[in-house]
Structure 1
Amino acid sequence: METSKNHNKLINNTDGVLGHTLKPLFEPTTSMPEDFGFITYSDQAPGCNAADTFGHSKGLVMMNKTSTGVWLLHSLPQFPFLRDQNRFYPSSGEKYAQTFICVTFKYAEFKKIGEHLLNIAAFPFDHNIPADFHKELIDVTERTTAPQGRVQDLKSAAGVSFRSIAKTKYKRPSAAKQKKLSDPNRFEGDLYLTIAKEYKTDVRVQTWGCQRDRDGSYCEKNQRHVININEVKANLGGGEVRWNTTKDHSKWCISGEKSKIDDLICIADVNRGLTQYERPGGALCFIHKEASLLFKGVIADLDNCPSSSSGAGSKRPRSPDTDCVPDCDPDCDPDCGDDDPDCTDKA
């Protein structure tokens, strides 16, 4: 796999990678072919935020019933802003780092992808699914919410194996209404611990650094470890730059340094925090050496577990980062604001 050498187009450019990918959406729904359908979903839709009964997830699916389609998972709030080739990228996306992954699947696989969207209680804010498409896709558009933990194997149109993972929700005891990271059972809702157990590997995780009740690395003895990434780095053409997780809204994980699975990579929906453990969410995972190496190469600093000889168990919850105060914009990033209001009647 080779990375692109042509970086002269901005991400919001109509002729860029995202612009070309989204071209089928820029048509009026009345002009779309009868065998074409799409769903755009997001807990932070343009103009409103979904109730927390829906999943903390962002993405879109579009497919042609007679051939293939794409599943685009991302971390960007309010995207696509409008089905307009000149205004599809929200200005809020210019502030923080984000992730996008786009995979082509044959139409038959969208039955399972629809099931995954139901399992993560995806919130659809725009859609056009013909009546003869997979029932699971139609159910998504009707905002059927019956989330459940589930793992499914998928195969891309090119034959690459993927695995969709929908996590379970942590149900806080009624006596523990206060939002404190003290219940050891909270990790039942940690997507990344679910991934670590599914693949029998430690994982290193990048998630939003301003998350309310952000959790520390998971370091239980004789368990799979979930290690938070503190800082990332990249060469953007003018030398290496670094930024910490309070500037990075992306959500992904890779296998740990001493894991038997060296090349695992997952692009995910949720952060590591109590309010996220309580919501549905998921990830798309695959084994790919070149892609994994690219992500390993951006890790600059880790919140490592204590030494095994220290007798320490789970690390203490992280205290709020002072960087979150100026960077936390509830209008664009309600992850670090109050609970999301219900926008079911506004989308």
Structure 2
Amino acid sequence: MFIFLLFVVLCVQGKMRIKLNQLNSNNILLVIFTFLCLVDWAKSQWYDNYDIQCRDENNDPVDWYVIYKLPKLRQSSHKEVKKGGAYAYITSNEERDSWELSSLSIASPKSIPGNTLSQLYKLKDTDEVIYALYNDQPPNVKRNSLSAGHTKGLVVANKDGGFWLVHSVPHFPPDPKKSSYEYPGNAFKNGQSFLCISLPAKDLEVVGTQLMYNNPKVYSNFSAKVLQTLYPNLTMASWGKEIRTAPFQHEVKLTTPSGTEFKSFAKTSKFNKDLYNDWVADSLKVDLIVETWPNGIGRLNSSCQTSYKVENVDAMKIPQVGDDFTSKQDHSKWAIAFEKEKPWVCIGDINRATTQYHRAGGTVCMQNANIWSAYFDSITNIETCPVPKGFFRRTYS
């Protein structure tokens, strides 16, 4: 890197006398190609060493991104949808009001999660970094952790900041001490959700506080000693410290480097209520439409008994794909406001079920009309509220 910069400086100052008439066209092309390669290499080294952030498919840093991994739909004419590897996305660099369907599989190291997590897999224990990977269904573990929070994600940071990735994928991602980027074979079947947020150091330390409420099952962690004073809460969370005293829920604001604001909701196992109906809807002051895994025990119906309604998604269709699927095929966890006037979008951990009352976890919300439209336009049926016997469904088209 130093030699390359010195070379450029000398050229600019005219210290190197090169007679262009002595160079043939092939040599000139070789010099140009070498120069461009060195510029690209220098750029990658700069980002790899200094900017730990969410990344897009071009491997460029982004403030945030949202991903919808589609279920495996055998009837689809789309190759990756049929295999269960298709994903649609929106990033802060390419913000639009509809999903962009990727040409890559979610399993590709060049996918958006692959590029983002490549920063993790390049790290060494000598690097001045901190990271924590957590999942109530860790990689290579058959039994779920029922004592820890119902929460999945990871945090990676250096002294300047890093990223927080919230997702719904079991057994993901692999432990960086043992493996490289892979997408688990049993996670292709169902739909999944991802939210990545790039954050400065002070906000990632706040994430550490939220994780102590969420009580995650941490299966891989590292914290350089030099960073433990900068990130005391994140360090303690990665070591398994949890909040055991009231209040049993905590709401905070997080702000990305470019100024986008998020609200993080985190609850402990003692909250003992529905995350969405008893907290999030009331805090945001909006009716909610919620998509969570409906196949477990104690599923909650749509509810109208409180100040703000919470209704369950029943069926979806990503317009860019055109294949219908139901919530029973969708393991993602997201919620949106019922009306666009307050375009809240939340992505998180917790299902709407009585069994989740006693599980720690949470959700992260932002106001964004484009993302809201992408989700809302993908809903084809919801379970209306109130719910009579043999409930009928509200249909969207």
Report the TM-score, using the length of structure 2 for normalisation.
0.68
Contact kept in structure 2, 1:214 and 1:318, CA below 8 Å: no
Partner SS, residue 230 of structure 1: strand
Matched, 1:96 2:190: yes
Task: Read off the aligned partner of 1:205 and give its amino acid letter.
Answer: V
Counterpart-to-counterpart distance in 1, 2:101 and 2:290: 29
Partner SS, residue 126 of structure 1: strand
Counterpart-to-counterpart distance in 2, 1:162 and 1:280: 20
Give the gaps of 5 or more residues in structure 1: 172-185, 307-314, 320-347
Task: From 281, 284, 290, give the equivalent of 2:364.
Answer: 284
Relative distance call for 1:151 and 1:317 in structure 2 (3 A) is farther
Counterpart-to-counterpart distance in 1, 2:101 and 2:148: 38
- Report Cα offsets for 1:306-328 as digits up to 9, x if no partner: 3xxxxxxxx47999xxxxxxxxx
- Report Cα offsets for 1:295-346 as digits up to 9, x if no partner: 111111011113xxxxxxxx47999xxxxxxxxxxxxxxxxxxxxxxxxxxx
Contact kept in structure 1, 2:117 and 2:181, CA below 8 Å: no
Task: From 14, 18, 22, give the equivalent of 2:113.
Answer: 18
Match of 2:266 in 1: 166
- Report Cα offsets for 1:144-188 as digits up to 9, x if no partner: 1225201001111110011110135467xxxxxxxxxxxxxx6x3
Which structure's residues are more often helix, by fraction?
A: 2
Relative distance call for 1:256 and 1:6 in structure 2 (3 A) is closer
Match of 1:207 in 2: 292
Match of 1:157 in 2: 257
Matched, 1:9 2:91: no
After superposition, the CA RMSD in angstroms is: 2.3
Counterpart-to-counterpart distance in 1, 2:150 and 2:385: 27
Relative distance call for 1:122 and 1:318 in structure 2 (3 A) is farther
Distance apart, 1:232 and its partner CA: 0.9
Relative distance call for 1:63 and 1:210 in structure 2 (3 A) is same
Partner SS, residue 235 of structure 1: coil
Give the gaps of 5 or more residues in structure 2: 1-94, 392-397
Match of 2:309 in 1: 225
Partner SS, residue 297 of structure 2: coil
Counterpart-to-counterpart distance in 2, 1:25 and 1:272: 32
Task: From 219, 231, 234, give the equivalent of 1:125.
Answer: 219
Contact kept in structure 2, 1:40 and 1:125, CA below 8 Å: yes
Counterpart-to-counterpart distance in 2, 1:203 and 1:5: 24
- Report Cα offsets for 1:198-252 as digits up to 9, x if no partner: 01111000000212111101111x5211101111111344xx1111111000000
Counterpart-to-counterpart distance in 2, 1:86 and 1:141: 21
Counterpart-to-counterpart distance in 1, 2:390 and 2:152: 26
Contact kept in structure 1, 2:293 and 2:331, CA below 8 Å: yes
What percentage of residue pairs aligned between the two structures are identical?
Answer: 26
Match of 1:59 in 2: 153
Relative distance call for 1:5 and 1:166 in structure 2 (3 A) is closer
Counterpart-to-counterpart distance in 2, 1:317 and 1:203: 22
Contact kept in structure 1, 2:275 and 2:362, CA below 8 Å: no
Task: Read off the aligned partner of 1:163 and give its amino acid letter.
Answer: K
Matched, 1:142 2:239: yes
Relative distance call for 1:142 and 1:243 in structure 2 (3 A) is same
Contact kept in structure 2, 1:193 and 1:225, CA below 8 Å: no
Contact kept in structure 2, 1:23 and 1:85, CA below 8 Å: no
Distance apart, 1:256 and its partner CA: 1.4
- Report Cα offsets for 1:114-165 as digits up to 9, x if no partner: 0000011111110111233311111112211225201001111110011110
Task: From 60, 64, 75, give the equivalent of 2:168.
Answer: 75
Matched, 1:111 2:111: no
